[in-house]
Amino acid sequence: MYTSVKGYKRSTGTSMAVRQNGADILLWNHGKGRNYQGRSYECSSDCYDTYRHFNCCNSLRVMGGHWVGYEKPNYMGYQYVLGPGEYPDFHHWMGFNNCIRSCQMFPPYRGAYRMRIYNRPEMHGHMMEFTDDCPNVFDRFGHHGIYSSNCMEGFWVFYEHPNYRGHKSFQGRHYECSGDCADMQTHFSRCNSIRVDSGSWVAYEKPNFSGYQYMLSKGEYPDFKHWAGFNDCIRSCRMVPSYTGNYRMKIFERTDFGGQTMELNEDCPDLRQRFNNGDISSANVMEGYWMLHEHPNYTGRQFFLRPGEYRRHVEWGSSSPTMGSLRRVTDLK
């Protein structure tokens, strides 16, 4: 998405005016260090390839003007707008890594801001003109894609996501897990994307395998919506063992395996039609791994069931006995 900045109103904007006096930027490289240590390179104009000076940039200081730092040479790759100030490490300039391969200075500008965006190439299709910031283009423009634009006045920056946020899938600090992990909070505070290289897993919202549960099979999950998450909190995870056997479980109307019962050995998309209006107070999983879902057709909250006895619904993590559907976890070879 994009925004614009007039004068010095906001440094996260899509356009930036530059100070009238001298413009300089200092870039530091010190192995794995940061905070302005090691070799530095001072730049007072556009530089299409900083690789001649060092192979990574661990900290920045902008002493004058506004700049755009680029991840790759020739002003390519991820882009970062930099106003006057200090950036001890790449997290402070909202970077995805410590690569700054080229930089470009904003020329001084004090004029008006005006641009047009189009939903088709070559300035065709639906058009909308902007003269100020826009935190959510889709809400105002009505189209997801911007295929061409005409920037008549000022400098602007487009952002990939609403509210001036950029791409975040599979970027930044990561943690690799090959077995059960009861508490991930020591590694990071939230989880923005997940890649499962092999096997099947259950991710949990809270430590010690509690809170919301999400079944994950091999593949990529760019954000929490792709794993049907309710937020970006993943605090623990559990690997589902390989399994190629049969599937069999019993569900019960009452706690401690009392009341009406039903045995299942296949998926059930609507428990409310088949069993006691969906009220399950206890269960006995004899064979295989299963997922209970809060709503019919495998939607809503998920509850992972391993072989064993569950005398009350709270033992599989639910605050209510009412369930909507049930399926086997079959991707376990």
The 10s digit of each residue's pLDDT in 127-179 is 999 999 988 888 888 887 888 999 999 888 887 777 776 654 566 677 888 88
The pLDDT tens digits of the residues spanning 210-234 come to: 989 999 988 888 878 888 888 888 9
| Architecture category of domain 18-105 in CATH | Sandwich (2.60)
CA 48 vs CA 39, 67, 72, 73, 101: distances in Å = 19, 13, 9, 6, 7
**pLDDT class of 44 with cuts at 50, 70, 90:** confident
Helix (H) or strand (E) run with residue 274 in it: helix 271-274
* C-alpha 130: how far from chain center: 29
* Confidence (pTM): 0.50
Superfamily per CATH, domain 248-328: Crystallins (2.60.20.10)
∠ CA 324-330-333, rounded to 5°? 160
Q: Where do you find CATH 2.60.20.10 in the chain?
A: 18-105, 248-328
